[in-house]
Every structure is written in structure tokens, then in C-alpha cells.
Chains A and B, each alone.
Chain A
Amino acid sequence: MSDCTIRFDGKPLTGKAGTPLIEFLAGHGIDLPHVCYHPALGTPQTCDVCWVELEGELVRGCTLQARDGLELSSQARRAGAAREEGMDRLLAKHELYCTVCENNTGDCTLHNTVAAMDMPIQRYAFQRKPYEKDHSNPFYTYDPDQCILCGRCVEACQNVEVNETLSIDFQMEPPRVLWDGGQTIAGSSCVSCGHCVTVCPCNALMEKTMQPDAGPFTGMPQSLKRPLIDLAKALEHTIGAPPITAISKMDMHWRQPEIKRTKTVCTYCGVGCSFEMWTRDRHILKVQPVVEAPVNGISTCVKGKFAWDFVNSERRLTRPLIRDGSSFREASWDEALDLVARRLLAIRDAHGPDSIGFIGSSKASNEEAYLTQKIARLVIGTNNVDNSSRYCQNPATKGLFRTVGYGGDAGSIKDIEKAELVVIVGSNLSENHPVIASKVKAAQKLRGQKLIVVDPRRHEMAERANLYLRPNASTDLVWASALSRYLFDHGLADETFLASQVNGVEEYRQSLAPFTLEFAEQVTGIPRAQLVEAAELIGRAGSVCLLWAMGITQHSHGADTSTALSNLLLVSGNYGRPGTGGYPMRGHNNVQGASDFGCLKNMYPGYEKVTDEAVRAKWARAWGVPPQQLSGEVGSDNFLMVQQADARKVRAMYIIGEETAFSDSDSHNVHQAFEKLDFMVVQDVFLSRTAEFADVVLPACPSVEKEGTFTNTERRIQRFYPVLEPLGDSRPDWRILTDLAARMGHPWGYTHPRQIMGEVAGIAELFAGVSYARLEGWKSLCWPVAADGQDTPLLYTDGFHTDDGKAVLYPLEWKAPAEGPDDTFDLMVDNGRMLEHFQGDNQTGQGLGMSALSPHWFVEVSPELAAERGIGQGCWVRLTSRRGAVELPALITGRVAGKTLFVPIHQGKPGLNLLTGEHHDPDVNTPAYKETAVRLEVLQRAPLEAPLPPGNFRHGQRTPNAGVPVEVKWMRDDYVEPPAHEQHPESL
């Protein structure tokens, strides 16, 4: 943007042309009063508070952008009167009682604007509306009496989150915000993402965590509050508004010392949302997203916005526990750490370094992942270290290693937004990566982006897709390869790109011979015409991003299918340009970082191979030991460690923040293996199912009680800061690991995570330019990061990460899944995370609000299967696999089809993994969770009335619209443009 100069009230102001006027003026310290304008939402034009005069005409200032020669007056009498009239109309809809209002914490747009306008008195009396305050949602309330009908919430819901629940009907009498056209919040399609609450300029939409104690006078009983408000109003008749506003301004100021605002990064998925957390002591007042957040801006999902009550759970671990017979006893840190150090060293000396295995946490920080592998490699001398990416992401990473070289997303979320076509495969994006889903939904709704979804389950993104393909389970490699062949056969392959940037083209092309459309149709069950349509869309799109997740990776050939998807992108020339690339959606907040920072059996931090002598020598030199002290052998991963524990080859395990006993496949075998260990340490926030097997349990802190960095699915490294002090005697993982290493003869002496990051950056080339200074505040870096701090949001713009800089087309064969249906086990169990759950519900299960959304474990059954087997809603069924059985109520839904069931993975004891088996992808040892065949028996038991409660958002009916229909308001007979006075301001 070039510079321009405008004249505002006679003063010349220079800044970037095209900047919205309100922002432009703010940059010069001028506050043009406004309420409905929001930088993330644009200009709803509903508040009528920002009038200025342009060439003698009144214009809403929010609709203007800075340009040379723009000459405006805000001081013209008419403009001032119009602004005041606009505010008077808002106050007819909103009762001011700011000193006793929870929202007067400093960011109440309405209060601050009223105060800034300094009006002597409001013109119109406040009119109550004939609607009750809606308390039905567990997390927030809507008070129609306080709602000014600005429509920010509608804009956020319709065009940012794109859940399309909210609307305003300006023809209602009086209008109000509507959920699904007139439902209570509970039971509507509202997913509680919190966008509307975040942008509400007053207290109409407000977090329940703010109510009632956000201010010193807000918690008083209504029986006192009401007379106090009435008293102030009576006085206001005589003394006017300014003295009363002065009190509320003082109230806003004296709240500030007790409110702490801290930037943190969400830990509920790999998107990497960052936001401010507002706290008063240990009370989390609210999560407040900000426009500056590099990934999400104002967006959050229900977990990021509302699911933090677990940090104050009474079930938090706060003291070390030591096994004592058939129970635990509390112990001091000295006793617990001494015991751990002594036992691990003794086991290492007795059985060798490889008798000990470490599972690092994909929820803990990069620095903590680094220390985990450093203890394993340097102190113990083993490469037996892994993280939970083994259960989800390693097949995707393998596919990328084979074809393009880096094990991470090819670009950023902005590239996904830019793409002409997005293809989502095996990913329930709107439930598992909700904020990325919002970006895709917005690009589709507002900018015409095309969307293809391939998934056995008809989830929200499938419903929204321009083309939805429903393949048979475990057959994705076939359609992906058939599409590649189609592109070659029909001149849609990017031959120029292939010739200049890709190796192995001809060999790959020949390997596609079996993948005809007929074969693909037969194996996948996708009609040939749909395959052709998909191929044509991909082949002809200017830019394509392909997103995939567990629906692809958790199969016996997940690495191959991931490779096939990357092959398809190469054939169509969709790497290395804005809006292109492959995007495995990382599931946990730091599953990318845990691998990046070395919690892998074969890689040092920065994906440097343990088998490379030069690499080993480099790390040994940096750590001050001879190379021989570090193992040059690839270690064991999670899957093998558990098997080796069962075989008594692994004698001790150290598990950090992972729920292996619940989330690893075939739970029975996992539990049996854990019981055979000589010694087991678990470091966690809660006494997880895994911790129940431990000899020592070390109480760790969640992210909000420590400092560090996380790396999201885009390879973006972001800092998080301590919101709260550690609870009780719990400690940050990095400190526990540092203290433990010292007790094992390695006094590293870290006193702050920045020192750890500094050490990694000095050794691993991938992170050479990473430093805490460069990550300060809202700044972030996408690896690889050069020593000068230059980062790489979009990969492969200068070639691929291979020896010769060219990508590789990797030939594949179709292999049948390791487990499929047969006569005995005739149904397949698809499975996955639900929006409101995370990691065995250890965190999301601690608060009543989250638990209330879907308290029951259930199995989704297709209507056709239900009819065939006589299964009614809530009917109890037993699912039996080759490993075990579980009993669940049935939820009949069209989300699943035919003989495929769906079971949520994070609920229930003992959990889905009683059914899953040890069959796995041999390339990466990832269990084939999605290849679980079962038989179903209907149980003679009284049905569960509502497997999914009536208030659950899945029952709602969305009401898509373009946003706030302000034109309808303007067209009403009783609307007159300010400064003229209004007859019914409460309605407009």
C-alpha cells in the first residue's frame, strides 16, 4: 500500500492508502467513535455512531478508506449530532449499569465509546424487551435486554466461523439475535466456538466465567444491584451522565491491577491458536482472542475458548506419588526424583541402555521434547524415544519424506485459504481442526473456493463439499492413484513441472497401469463419474491444497496412502506455489514439535539421522561427550517398546503426558505389558489410566503454568507464557527433567526454557535462527529458520528437500487392509475424535460444561443397518472384535452409511481400544485403528433415551445468510437517518 494524505478536521494526516478510516485515525491517536466496526469483521453499519461529513454530506466513517485528497469533518455540528443520535438509539436498547457490570474490564467497546463521547444525558429511555436472558449454553449467556443489535456476532458466526447459526431479523418486533432462527442456544447448531462472545461490544453475550465476580461490585445480589442501578438513574436525571460515567471509568481502572492478561497457545489440536487469557488470581475470567494472533485471529473452538477449567480441578496431581503396595503414597520431590534416578541407572547398568524406553509428550513444549530425548540419548544412551505421532502422524510424515523431503505441511493456513481447490481426505476438519475448517468454509462461502471431501463419514465438511466422495474404508490409495493416472492420460498432468522438478516420473507413470477408473470404482465403491469429476477439478484448478488426517494414516498402509496423495499433488504440479501443497493435519498441539525436537527413534532434533556418523559426532560434541557414548542404532518406537516390555526386553519406561494405556491399540496387551515392567515413571497433570500402572508419578504443570514454545501443523513455532503459578507442588516438565538429569550426573543447569531453545538452535540447522527474542509476543517463525531469522511459511519454492532438489514420484502397489469384514465380523468400526473431546477426556472431562455436551459414549449406526437389524434410537448393542467387546447405546444417523459404524475415541472406560488390534503399518509401526472389524448384537436392555443430549449442537439446523441485513433495518418505515430523532429507537 502506498502512502496518502487525508485532511481530518482541517489537519493533514499521512498513512497507508486503503486503510479503513477508523484504523487510519487510530494510528494518529484519533478515536472516531464507533461500536459495530471491528477490524476482523468489517463494517456492519448498524450502530450509526461514526458519522463524519464528506463534501457536505453525512457518511458513516466506517465505510471510508484512506485515500489522497479525502477531506472529512467530524466536528461539523450535524456530524456530531448524528453520532450522538446513533449512540442515543443504542442506549435505548442497552441499560448502562457499568460499575456493576461484569464486562467493564477495560475492553467493553460500548462503555468506552459512551465515556469518550461524554454526552450530557441519553435522549431515549431504555426499553426492556419481551425476551428472557438465555442461560441454556454451558459456557455463555445471551441477554436480549443488553443487546444493541450491532450484528457483530452474526458477522462472526456467518462469515468468520461460518457455523451459520446466528441471524437478526430486523422485521421482528422488537428484533433480537436468533439461534437457528429462534431456538434456545442449547439445541441449536451453535458449536460454542465463542466467536460471538469474543466480538460482542457489550455484555449481551458474555462468558459464564466472567459472571458474577469479574469486578469488585459485580457479584452483589440482584436485590441490591437493582435498587442501586435505579438510584444512579434517578440521580442522573439531575446531575447528568458524566458523573455516573466517571464512576464507571474509575471502576474500569481499579479493576486493572487485579486482572492479568497473558498470551498463551492452545493445547487442544495442531492448529496453534493463540490468545490472551484473562485471569484474576487462579480464576480464568475469559479467553480473549486478538486480531494479531498469527494463526487464528479472533477465532477459537469450544475447547480453546471454554475448556480450561481442568487447570483448577480437584483431581490435579500436585504431589509426587510413589507406589506403596497396592496404593500410592505422597512423597517429596527429593525422594521421588532420587528414586527415579537410582532405579533408571540401575536398570540401565543391569540390562543395558535399550532396556529403558521414553515416550515424550506431544502436548508438552518443544524444549521439553528436547530434554526428553536428551535424557534418553545422552544420560541413558538409548534411541528408544518416541511420541504419540506414532499413533497418528508418522505415516503422513513418511509419505512426505518419500516424495518432497520435509515432514511437515507444505505451506501455511493462508495458503489453504488461497487455494482454488481444497481436497480434504480422511479428516473431520470441522471437529478436529475447527479453526482451519472455518478458514476453508469462509473461503468457500465468500470467495468461491471449491471443496472436495473424501470420507466414509458424512461430516459437516462433507455436507458442505462441492463434490463428496464416499469410498469404502481403507481404499484411498486406489482412488488417489487412479486420479493420478487420469491426469496423465487426459493431458492434465503438469508436464512442465514434472520435467523440471520431479524425478522418477516415467517409472511412476508405469506403476499406475493397474489403477484404471474401472478398478478404482470396483475397489473404492466411488462411481466412475465422480472419480472423473474429481480428477477434472484437481487437474484444472490453478492451485490445490490437499489435507488429510487419521482417516488416512491409521491404516495398515497409511504411509503408502499418504505417499499416493503426495504423488497426486506432484502430478498436478501442486507444490511450491502459494495456495498449493500437502497438509497432514497434526492432531495434538505439539505433535509436530515433539518430532521436530527429537522424540523419534531415528532422528535427533531437526530430523538429523542417528545413524549418520557425522551427525552423531556433532551432537556428541555439542553435549560434551565422545560420539561412542551416543547410540548409533535406531531405537524402538512406542509400538515396539510396548511389545518389548511384554517380552521383558524393555524393563523400564518413562512416559510423559501420554495416555498410552488408553490410546494405544489393543489395550489388553498394553496393560499386560505395563504390568511386566520392572519400573515405570509417569509424568502428567492427572492420574491418568497410564499413571495407574506407574511406580512413580510426577506431578507436571499444564501449559498455562509454564513457559515454552509449541510448533503447530504449519511448522509455526510460537511462544506461550505462564498464565498461572504451578498448582501446589506440581512443576513444569522441563524443570523436572532438568532436576532428574542432575541427579543422574548431568547438571545441565537450565533455569529458563530460553536457554534450552538457544542450545537446540546452536546445534540443529533447521532451527538455526530460532530465539525467544524472535518469538516475543505474537511473533512466530515457521521452520526451517535460517541463522538470520528468515523463516519459511511456504516450502519448496526453491526446490525440494532432497539431494538434488527434485521431488520424487514414488511408485506404489495396492495392498488390501490387514483387517476387513468377513462372515463373523461383518461390520467396520470407523472412529475418531469429537469436537468436544480430547485425549481420553483427561482434560475435557474435568469440567461440567464440556461433559454436558455429550456425556454418553455411543456408536453411530446407519439408518439402513438399523432398519436391517431392528435397532432403535438408544438401543444397547454389543460390539465384538477379534480382541474384545464393548457395550454401547446406538445413535442412528446418516453420518454413517451401510455397514460402517462410528465410535468416538475419547469417551468411555475401558475405551475403543479394547476392540482394536496390533495389526499396523509395517513402514512406520502405526496401529491400524481404522481397520477394526466387529460383529454387532442387539442387547435386551432398556434403551438410553438420548445418546446425544437434546442440547447437543448436532441436532441443530443451521440458518446460512450473508450476515447482518442492515438494509432491512434501513428500509423499515420507522427508520430515519440520524441526526433526525427516532420514534422507536429500541427496535432499530
Chain B
Amino acid sequence: MAERIENYRVRPPKIGATAEDELNQLLQTLHERGILRFANDLAGSQAEVMKVLVGGLSKPGTLNAIQNLSILGMALSRIPPEQFYKVAFALRDGFASVAGYQPEAHGKEAPGVSGAYRLLHDDDLWRAIAPLLAGLKTFAEGLEREVDKPISAFSGKSSDF
């Protein structure tokens, strides 16, 4: 004979992971992926690794590279991307023009009237300078192009995005 028990309240169960569970899971994953082993190796050999790292960083060439990259970063941070794009890609186009210069297409003869007399008549020298002039011309053209969005200029797809 058992009367009804109406007001018993069930003790709420623990639902979801605790911080400890999450931490254990993280440790297990790090272990399985070999990251803990690497971290252990790294921590265990800290002094030696640091020595190598500092030694490498202290070489004049490395120091120059770090300082130059820093300067580049400082300069880049002051250039609007549209301008930089314009210059960078004008340069790229200029380089392409230089590299792709075909002397045969432009003739081998010197231009004649302007410039130093010798230069004008030195065919070999003219052949050497002409590609650079062509590159300079393309570079100047690149600088004249208006760039709204670098990616649009780059991809050729206009965008009002």
C-alpha cells in the first residue's frame, strides 16, 4: 500500500561539459595530434633552442632584414592601398614590358637626332636602353590609370561592393 508522493523534486543532473571536462578534452586532442609532444620537446630544450634562435637573429644580415621589413611596414602603413596598388602594378607591368621587349620589333637602328651624338649612333647602346625606355613608358601609363578598388583593377571585374 503506497500513497502517491506528489511533491518530490528530482535533483537536477549535471548537463554539459564542465571546464575540467573541456580541459581534459583539449589535453587529449593535443596529445593525439602530437602537439603536446612537440610542446614538451620545445619546453625541454628551451635554452638550446633559444640560443640558436637568438644566434640566428643576431647576425647582421638577419638584423638588416628585420629592420628593413620594419621600415617597409612603416612605409606601407602610410600609403593608401589604391596608390600602392597603382605603383606596384605599374612596376609589375613595367617589368613585364622590359622582360618582353623584342628588339626586332622595334628595329635595330638608332633614332638619330636627339640625345648625345654618340648615343644616337651607338646601335649597341640603343639596343640596351630601349627596353628600359619602353618599361618606363608602360610604368608611366600605369600611373595614369585610375584605380577605384585594387581587386577590380586586378581581376578586371568591376564592383560597387
**Residues on A facing B (Cβ under 8 Å):** 119-126, 233, 236-241, 281-283, 312, 314-319, 321, 323, 326-328, 330, 671, 674-678, 680, 686-687, 692-695, 727-728
In this complex, the interface size class of chain B, counting residues with CB under 8 Å from chain A, is 20 to 34
Known interface pairs A238-B149, A240-B151, A316-B10. Does A125 touch B5 (Cβ–Cβ under 8 Å)? no
**A677:B155 contact, CB within 8 angstroms:** no
Instruction: Give Cα distance in the complex from A692 to B4, angstroms.
Output: 5
Q: At the interface, yes or no: B51 with Cβ under 8 Å from chain A?
A: no
Instruction: Give Cα distance in the complex from A694 to B149, angstroms.
Output: 74
**A238:B2 contact, CB within 8 angstroms:** no
Interface of B (DSSP majority class): loop
**B161:A125 contact, CB within 8 angstroms:** yes
* B4 CB contacts on chain A under 8 angstroms: 671, 674-675, 692-693
Most chain A CB within a 10 A radius of its CB, from B8, B14, B152, B158: B8
CB of B29 to closest CB in A, whole Å: 8
Instruction: Give Cα distance in the complex from A677 to B152, angstroms.
Output: 82
Closest B residue to A92 using CB positions: B161
* B159 CB contacts on chain A under 8 angstroms: 121-125
Known interface pairs A123-B160, A283-B16. Does A692 touch B1 (Cβ–Cβ under 8 Å)? no
CB of A978 to closest CB in B, whole Å: 14
**Residues on B facing A (Cβ under 8 Å):** 1-6, 8, 10-17, 81, 85, 149-152, 154-155, 157-161
**B5:A323 contact, CB within 8 angstroms:** yes
Instruction: Give Cα distance in the complex from A274 to B51, angstroms.
Output: 61
* B16 CB contacts on chain A under 8 angstroms: 281-283, 312
Instruction: Give Cα distance in the complex from A123 to B148, angstroms.
Output: 13
Known interface pairs A122-B159, A123-B157, A125-B161. Does A237 touch B151 (Cβ–Cβ under 8 Å)? yes
* A330 CB contacts on chain B under 8 angstroms: 11
**A692:B151 contact, CB within 8 angstroms:** no
Instruction: Give Cα distance in the complex from A675 to B4, angstroms.
Output: 7
Known interface pairs A120-B157, A677-B2, A680-B2. Does A237 touch B150 (Cβ–Cβ under 8 Å)? yes
Known interface pairs A238-B85, A282-B16, A676-B1. Does A120 touch B8 (Cβ–Cβ under 8 Å)? no
Other-chain contact of B13, A281, A675, A692, A728 (Cβ < 8 Å): A728
* B149 CB contacts on chain A under 8 angstroms: 121, 237-238
Task: Beyond A319-B11, A674-B4, A675-B1, list 16 extra A-B contacts (CB 8 Å).
Answer: A120-B155, A121-B152, A121-B155, A125-B159, A236-B151, A238-B81, A282-B15, A282-B17, A312-B15, A312-B16, A314-B12, A316-B10, A326-B3, A326-B5, A674-B2, A676-B1
CB of A623 to closest CB in B, whole Å: 32
Known interface pairs A120-B151, A236-B151, A328-B8. Does A728 touch B3 (Cβ–Cβ under 8 Å)? no
Instruction: Give Cα distance in the complex from A697 to B85, angstroms.
Output: 74
* B155 CB contacts on chain A under 8 angstroms: 120-121, 240
Instruction: Give Cα distance in the complex from A316 to B14, angstroms.
Output: 10
**A727:B13 contact, CB within 8 angstroms:** yes
* B81 CB contacts on chain A under 8 angstroms: 237-238
Other-chain contact of B15, A233, A240, A727 (Cβ < 8 Å): A727
* B5 CB contacts on chain A under 8 angstroms: 323, 326-328, 692-693
Closest A residue to B85 using CB positions: A238
CB of B88 to closest CB in A, whole Å: 11
Closest B residue to A680 using CB positions: B2
* B151 CB contacts on chain A under 8 angstroms: 120-121, 236-241
Instruction: Give Cα distance in the complex from A241 to B157, angstroms.
Output: 12
**B1:A314 contact, CB within 8 angstroms:** no
CB of A328 to closest CB in B, whole Å: 5
**B2:A675 contact, CB within 8 angstroms:** yes
Closest B residue to A126 using CB positions: B161
Instruction: Give Cα distance in the complex from A692 to B6, angstroms.
Output: 6
Known interface pairs A120-B155, A120-B157. Does A315 touch B2 (Cβ–Cβ under 8 Å)? no
* A282 CB contacts on chain B under 8 angstroms: 15-17
Give 23 A-B contacts (CB < 8 Å), ordered by A residue. Answer: A120-B157, A121-B155, A121-B159, A122-B159, A122-B161, A237-B161, A238-B81, A238-B149, A238-B150, A240-B151, A240-B155, A281-B17, A282-B16, A314-B12, A323-B5, A326-B5, A675-B1, A675-B2, A675-B3, A675-B4, A686-B10, A692-B4, A693-B4
